[in-house]
A and B are shown apart, each in its own frame.
Chain A
Amino acid sequence: MAKKKTVRTIPQSRTPMPEQEPQVRARNFDEVACGYSPAHALREADRCLECPDEPCVRGCPVGVDIPGFIKRIAARDLRGAYDTLTNTNLLPAVCGRVCPQENQCEGVCTVGDTLEPVAIGRLERFVGDTAIREGWANVPYVEPVRFRVGIVGSGPAGMACAADMAKAGCDVTVYEAFHQPGGVLRYGIPDFRLPNEVIDAEIANLGKLGVKFECNTLVGRLFTIEQMVDELGYDAVFIGVGAGYPSMLSIPGDSLNGVLSANELLTRCNLMRARDFPVFDTPVPAGRRVAVVGAGNTAMDAMRVSLRLGAEKVYCIYRRSRTEAPARLEEVHHAEQEGVEFHWLTNPVAVLDDGHGSARGLRCVRMTLGEPDASGRRRPVAVPGSEFDFETDLVVYAIGTNANPIMGQTSGLKLNERGYIATDDELATSLAGVFAGGDIVTGAATVIQAMGAGRRAARSIKRYLGLRDSATAGSGATLFGIDLAEHGFTRVRTA
């Protein structure tokens, strides 16, 4: 019988993941982190203590059986590990890459009290990638029910909700306004963090569950939410359209050519493949010196994309200090390694005109940190007389988004004072049978939070339709067994 593992007996250091060298990867769109080999995965799986209180499971917004899947990796049963993972999370290859594990499962890992925590995200990705390579898909036998569920938006919230409703036997259709499904996973997150093939594979898995995707469909305008219920015969609707509507800085020079939102830069580059112009028809502004305003994950993506598009210099301009930067530490670190120049405590005051309607520079002031503001972060205050200029031909705003107005314009849905869709605790909207979740309810957040919202809405929809839900049967307890706020998930603004 195997001896009980302790922090003394397990491999002491976290198994590093092979990565492309910073100088090399900063010029290509291949994935930065290359993934674990089976040997790496076995070594890392051995670091899990299988502790009885399983804090990691409570730290996961969707409650993945983490010790369970790691145990199966250690037993060299990868198919079993995949089955365990996909019981709760249909998108392991995505989540393994883009979840902020340091604030979730890994942040509360018992091993992490003494050593570096178990690399749960890397192991999850290893299993997810193995499944894609092997063509595994878990298609449980589902007893069809007579309900039709319409899902608006094919991003992480919509995909998670679709998966759960399909598993409950419903006939599920997902509507997407773009010509390809995936939402922010497709247009926003660059290939070097989440390759398109991974998204394709996860979407194909949903297809095997019977989920139908209808692209080129702008719900609200082609048909309304009310029409989905009244005319198109949907018994329930889930809205997960994301926040959209990027904020601009409202400083002089905002509308100059060479000033654009991170959403535009990323959409052109990722979804429209502008990086392969002219093979693809969509162009992208070529910046020699690029200033990205903001320090969230989207800002980091915009900077690293700019480097790969051939920029000589990329600056990060952020009015607070590194401590307050909303991006994942790992993303800041990657950007630094690749040569992004960080200018903390720096606030833009004007984009400078080259005389022909294009940006030639960014005028900034130095900031200092004052008293904490409403967000609990210290309020940045301008230092008088500290103006200085950056020479730049491309300015990218990554300072957050506001609510997209289309749903409000086209339906009777109740909105909150900031224009987001108002829901109750069960994610039900003001219209019967219509539920909403993700960024269009909370404002900009993370992929895993959106997936969490999609799953929460799925449970509410099942209750609404009177379907049995094994996960909630017999208890009206908190849906995930965790309080999201406790785990630092309250941040919604990145500015």
Chain B
Amino acid sequence: MNTAAFLMMIFTTSFITGLTIYFFIKVLKAKPKQEPDSYSQNDHIKR
């Protein structure tokens, strides 16, 4: 690959993959809200 294409591809894919993972991990780590919340399958979890 030529340098310009390679750099463009690496920068773009890393940037987008990084942000996708960052926001998804933030979702996974977010503390659930007090019941009743919007999600039915976490009703048994103690907060």
Indicate whether A and B interact.
Answer: no
